Amino acid sequence: MYKHRFTQLSQFAIATAAWVGLSISGATIANAEIAIGLMSDLSGKASLLGKNTELGARLATNDYNSGAVGEKIRLVVQDSACNAKQAQKAAAKLLRLNIKIVIGPICNKALFAAIKVLSPAGITIITPNIRATRIARGRKKENWLVFSLAGNAKTESEAISKILLDRWQGMAYAIADDGSIYGRGLADDFRTLAELSGQKPVALANYRPLQTKQISMLRRLQKSGMEALFIGGDAVDIALIARDADKIGLDIEIAGGESVALLPFEDSAKFVPPGLLAVMPVEPQYFPSASELVASLKRQGIAPDGGVIPGYALMQIAIKAATSTDKIEQLEFDTVLGKIRFSNDGYANAYPYRLHVWADGEIKPLGGY
């Protein structure tokens, strides 16, 4: 079952976090410890995900230290608040502590603000989720030591193209988008890859987002004889289009990208007929490599979602990188997300994509994990 939800820290987790890590304003680091920084968005709009990422990192630190023979790890936490100014202040505090590797942030503006402070000092940053092409450009042109666990900007569109073109082989399909940077970019990439494979769409369409009806667009596309429709847009519009297609009796497959993950949290979800498809990453709690951690979290009353498992994996990566003399690009990391390697561009596609379906008010993997 796929529920891309964020969870509050349990009382157990808060108690664990109180002694495992260190949240500081000006503390010094003991010589017998290796300090790793965490810039997590603990306040602001991404705070729930940020807190869970922090929790995962703290738990990984605790597990490592419990078996460490030599130097132990000290996790040094700063709140980047999903805010550029706050991120720069947080980065400056970490810089004064001579930390060489930092996990996070999870917000674009916080990440790139932190890079301005940390990169000139040669400090490595690993983000769990940001795919921006600026990472590759900055690494090439400005020698940024920045890495992303989530793949590059084309990861989603390439997964969508592979999965849907295989499924829609020999079918007449159309592409629609909302004109946004995200939606149009996804649609354009899909169309380009489809044409390169010899599977051109039968029709293209644009729509204005946040409208109450999209029936006229569907009527126009219906004339093309389409049997399937890919939509580049957000969850609300995709839900409304699926509803309107069902309302006018249009018997087609409709698919979106990972924005559909937010559908369970939208009011419009109650109108969506079963069968809406989405190409999305597999939720980390279903990774076979994470099964032991998931069982442990459940015993402790901690929901194994919302960033906890990626936070744990990020700390595993940071610990190995901090204790190795090799460059990160030369290392293979054995983590709860499986074996991970970073490309020379700084990306690691740690989250495989699968086809999911809307059924019984939930987004579920088609055919199971």
- pTM higher than 0.95, yes or no? no
pLDDT(121) > 70: yes
Q: Is residue 99, in this structure, part of any structural domain at all?
A: yes
Per-residue pLDDT tens over the stretch 147-182: 999 988 899 999 999 999 999 999 999 999 999 989
118 and 138 in contact (C-beta within 8 Å)?
no
Distances (CA, A) of 259 to 132, 200, 211, 232: 16, 24, 18, 9
Pick left, alpha or beta for residue 142 (phi over 0 → left; psi -120 to 50 → alpha; otherwise beta). alpha
Residue 3 in domain: no
* Residues 189 and 265 both lie in one domain: yes
pLDDT over 60 at 13, yes or no:
no
The predicted pLDDT at position 364 comes to 87
CB 245 within 8 A of CB 254: yes
Total of domains in the chain? 2
* Residues 277, 143 share a domain: no
Verify that 61 and 119 share a domain, yes or no: yes
Q: Which domain holds residue 296?
A: 11-148+284-340
Asked if omega into 201 is within 30° of 0 (cis), the reply is no
Query: Which has more pLDDT, 153 or 356?
Result: 356
365 and 2 Cβ atoms separated by less than 8 Å: yes
Q: Give the three-state DSSP class for 67.
A: helix
45 occurs within a structural domain: yes
Contact 148, 112 (CB under 8 A): no
Residues 126 and 245 in one domain: no
- Whether 248 is in a domain gets the answer yes
Q: What is the pLDDT of residue 368?
A: 65
List strand residue ranges (DSSP E) for the chain, in order. 22-23, 33-40, 72-79, 101-103, 124-127, 146-148, 173-177, 203-206, 228-232, 253-256, 277-281, 333-335, 338-340, 353-359, 362-365
Q: Which residue has the tokens 């996990």?
A: 103
pLDDT in tens, 181-229: 899 999 999 999 999 999 999 999 999 998 889 999 999 999 999 999 9
Classify residue 346: in a domain, yes or no: no
Residues 288 and 209 both lie in one domain: no
Greatest Cα pair distance, the chain, in angstroms, is 72
pLDDT band per the 50, 70, 90 thresholds, residue 68 = confident
* 54 Cβ contact list (under 8 Å, min separation 6): 17, 21, 38, 40, 42, 77, 311
Higher pLDDT, 158 or 5: 158
Residue 172 CA, chain-centre distance (Å), reads: 31
**Does pLDDT of 130 surpass 80?**
yes
Q: 258 lies in a domain?
A: yes
Q: How many Cβ atoms are within 10 Å of 137's Cβ, its own excluded? A: 12
Residue 19 confidence (pLDDT) above 90 = no
Model pLDDT, residue 250: 95
Q: Among positive and negative, which fits the CA dihedral 162, 188, 234, 199?
A: negative
331, 297, 332: which is closest to 312 by C-alpha?
297
In angstroms, what CA-CA distances link 343 with 112, 171, 218, 261? 20, 35, 41, 27
pLDDT for 39: 94
Q: Looking at residue 237, which CATH number applies to its domain?
A: 3.40.50.2300
Instruction: Say if residue 303 is in the same domain as residue 197.
Output: no
pLDDT at 210: 86
CB neighbour class for 70 (10 Å; exposed up to 12, middle 13-18, buried from 19) = exposed
User: CA-CA distance, 145 to 1, in Å (whole number)?
Assistant: 36
